[in-house]
């Protein structure tokens, strides 16, 4: 019993992890407020939770802002490109679904495929930037290749990433509780869960000295 609750015990470790995730969730939310910084903030979040999973860093807030500054330029560019693609797809999807022509359903197929690829890209692009040093072109290319090469993990990661949305659905009748849960730990917790998947998935692609 003493070992469980000691400084290095499982209970103490779980409490530290939970506390760190609360801190990270609040910092992530604050850094997302300008909207244009969502990419840099999410990359920084992944950088820290991946280090947590690998037991590499205990200063989560300091590490978050360090990664935020380091990846700001590239992550912001990636985020703006994603937003632009999403806006184009949304417009095309709306136009095709409201077009008064017989071939309208067929026109939706390429947009649905593009939307699926965009979702796969969003799932991987931020952890990829958090772990690997790549050019902007390679960030997009490698993210899509990894997502397609590890499709079962991609599907699982998507299900986990929908956790905050699931909380909103489950507690839709209790708005204050729903907001509280997502504000306190929502995104950071599910990102931390996904980090366990990405740590194992990325390991074969890491340089030997980094493993």
- The C-alpha angle 52, 70, 118, rounded to 5 degrees, equals 80
Q: Average pLDDT for residues 196-201, to the nearest whole number?
A: 96
Give the pLDDT score at 95.
Answer: 76
CA distance readout (Å), 45 to 41, 98, 114, 165: 6, 39, 26, 18
pLDDT band at 102 (very low <50, low <70, confident <90, very high): low
Q: Of residues 208 and 207, which shows the higher confidence score?
A: 207
Q: Of residues 145 and 110, which shows the higher confidence score?
A: 145
Per-residue model confidence as pLDDT tens digits over 5-57: 455 567 888 889 999 999 999 999 999 999 999 999 999 999 999 999 998 87
Residue 14 CB neighbours (<10 A): 11
Give the pLDDT score at 6.
Answer: 52
Answer for the pair 53, 196: CB distance below 8 angstroms, yes or no. Answer: yes
The DSSP call for residue 33 is T
| Predicted TM-score (pTM) of this structure | 0.89
pLDDT averaged over the chain? 88
pLDDT band at 208 (very low <50, low <70, confident <90, very high): low
Per-residue model confidence as pLDDT tens digits over 135-153: 999 999 999 999 999 999 9
Answer for the pair 191, 143: CB distance below 8 angstroms, yes or no. Answer: no
Residue 161 CB neighbours (<10 A): 17
Which contacts of 29-36 are long-range, i.e. CB under 8 A and separated by 24 or more positions?
Answer: 29/183, 29/187, 31/68, 36/76, 36/79, 36/80
């Amino acid at each position: 019993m003493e070992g469980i609750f000691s400084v290095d015990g499982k209970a103490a470790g779980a409490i530290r992890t939970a506390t760190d995730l609360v801190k990270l969730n609040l910092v992530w939310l604050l850094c997302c407020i300008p909207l244009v910084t969502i990419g840099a903030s999410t990359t920084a979040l992944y950088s820290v939770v991946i280090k947590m999973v690998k037991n590499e860093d205990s200063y989560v807030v300091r590490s978050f802002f360090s990664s935020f500054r380091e990846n700001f330029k590239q992550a912001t560019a990636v985020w703006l490109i994603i937003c632009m693609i999403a806006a184009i797809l949304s417009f095309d999807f709306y136009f095709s679904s409201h077009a008064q022509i017989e071939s309208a359903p067929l026109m939706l197929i390429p947009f649905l495929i593009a939307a699926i690829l965009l979702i796969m890209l969003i799932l991987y692009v931020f952890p990829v930037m958090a772990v690997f040093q790549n050019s902007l072109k390679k960030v997009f290319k490698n993210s899509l290749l990894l997502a397609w090469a590890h499709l079962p993990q991609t599907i699982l990661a998507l299900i986990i990433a929908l956790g905050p949305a699931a909380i909103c659905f489950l507690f839709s009748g209790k708005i204050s509780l729903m907001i509280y849960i997502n504000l306190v730990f929502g995104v950071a917790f599910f990102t931390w869960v996904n980090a366990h998947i990405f740590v194992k998935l990325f390991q074969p692609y890491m340089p030997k000295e980094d493993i």
